[in-house]
Amino acid sequence: MKPAGLFRDWFDHQMAEAYGDQARVEVDDNDGIIQVTLVASNDEGQSWSAYPMVRESPPAGDVWVADAREVSTRPSGGPTEVYEFTILPREPYEHLVLLVDAHGGLAPAEDGVYRFKSERYYQEALVASGYQEWDRFDVRDPMGEGTDADGPVLEGLRWYDTVIWFTGDNDFNTLTLADQQNLVDWLADSEEWLERNLLLTGNDIATEVVGRHDDPLGLYGGWLQAGYFGNLNGNTGVTVHDEEGGFDFLDLAPGFCALPECPFFYEYDVLWHMSPEAEVALVYWDQYEEPHPAAVAYSDPTRGYQTVALGFGLEFMAVAEESTRFEHGGEHRANLMGNIMEYFQIPPEHIPTEVEEEPLRNSLSHAYPNPANPSVTIAFSVKEEGPVAIRVYDVAGRIVRTLVDREFDAGASGRAVWNGCDEAGRACASGVYFSRIDAPGFEAERKLVLVR
């Protein structure tokens, strides 16, 4: 079987849209093939449906097809050869997000037990931040040999304007040379006025790409503007903090989170910004509270693409509390993911939700929709009982409107709506505003834009 374009996933999302499109598969007909059938499942192989494919004559000019490889699980009584592929959309649409799972393994849950695959934590963070539409590519054999260790090829990447690529704690073939070339070429597409946003996250990506192989294609030093300054040993306790100044990437109280320590023996990449257009987004604090740069954010002034390179895997974030090393860190992952998406200027598709595992938590969601026209909704929750105030401020720090000002019980949550008017009911001018919550033990602020 000869695939015309290379891509693969399991129809995890947008089944209806996928079936509504068309696919074309090129088959090397050396054996007198008379019929090709697509066999698909949307319930992880519990049931299957067969879709006969029609021979084209003459062949169509456009080809939309994915990586055609034999699937590991064949349907009972199905045809001898079964392939999986994705039908890509014919027209790119705004803010198409791709998750690339180059880890393929488990990450420690809140109790320190390896229970869930890494992808769970990224999907949870996206949903909690108000994003519910994405595609996923599973690298066939992370840390393997040959093309099975490669991520999506350029023909597949080009359909997406935002890529979240995660490698967990893998330390070999985190980004193959083919992956690096495809990402460089994909970022270069921004010269054609295509939006490009890249989140690259994993404990040892820079260690391998730069430390061991000297950044052969300049992905880090050139395209990400991120320098590699060695590893930070996490065995004795490492916390991650927002870097003061610049864009706020981690602004949820208490303003920092923990990374796993002994007995997990993780090491984390130390990264530094290489140009004025790049900034250190996050910093590690070691056991002596000495800071080390942990992430670099970069907006290319010429091509316009934006990147965030984390020196650690987002899935390893946990709440730093003395009582337990693995208190639930979902709200911090969601906070970081939401702020990264805001840095990429991708508004939430839905009102952000709460992370289910910890009902008693402090949170102030990003405004939805943002930009706002004519109104905006802000979700919040509070961990402690007491007075809660949510207000809208202008860029000069003046109160524009008080949305909430009353007592709440511990664990309460709600939504505040701003209709774009001030306290006197007058319509506010278009521009940048800020929502702010003040609650017992919790303060947070979010930027929003009003458009008339």
Digit-coded pLDDT (tens) for 53-107: 665 544 443 332 333 333 333 444 444 444 444 444 434 445 688 899 999 888 8
Report strand pairing: 324-327 vs 386-394.
unpaired
Say if 355 falls within a structural domain.
no
Give the domain CATH number at 418: 2.60.40.4070
- Tell me the one-letter amino acid at 37: T
In sequence order, what are the residues at sequence separation of 6 or more whose Cβ sits closer than 8 angstroms to the Cβ of residue 223?
A: 183, 184, 187, 307
Instruction: Mark which of 91, 121, 148 sits at the end of a domain.
Output: 91
Residue 323, helix vs strand vs coil: coil
Is pTM beyond 0.75 here?
A: no
Same domain (yes/no): 20, 35: yes
Q: Are 231 and 271 in contact (CB under 8 A)?
A: no
Say if 442 falls within a structural domain.
yes
Say if 350 falls within a structural domain.
no
Instruction: Mark which of 91, 108, 132 sits at the end of a domain.
Output: 91
Give the domain CATH number at 263: 3.40.50.880
Say if 348 falls within a structural domain.
no
Same domain (yes/no): 68, 185: no
Same domain (yes/no): 126, 65: no
> What CA–CA distance (Å, rounded) separates 82 from 43?
17
Same domain (yes/no): 305, 442: no
Average pLDDT over residues 346-361: 63
Q: In the chain, what percentage of residues exceed pLDDT 70? A: 71
Say if 397 falls within a structural domain.
yes
Q: Lowest-confidence range among 72-86, 151-165, 213-227? A: 72-86
> What CA–CA distance (Å, rounded) separates 353 from 346?
17
Say if 358 falls within a structural domain.
no
Same domain (yes/no): 174, 317: yes
Q: What is the pLDDT of residues 422-448, one digit of tens each?
A: 999 999 999 889 999 999 988 888 888
Instruction: Mark which of 91, 111, 143 sits at the end of a domain.
Output: 91
Cα angle 18-22-28, degrees, rounded to a multiple of 5: 120
Same domain (yes/no): 326, 367: no
Same domain (yes/no): 400, 419: yes
Higher-pLDDT residue of 356, 304: 304
Same domain (yes/no): 323, 383: no
Say if 402 falls within a structural domain.
yes
Rg of the Cα atoms in the chain: 23
Same domain (yes/no): 307, 383: no
Same domain (yes/no): 70, 107: no
Same domain (yes/no): 155, 292: yes
Residue 293, helix vs strand vs coil: strand
How many independent structural domains does the chain possess? 3
Domain that includes residue 224, residue range: 97-343
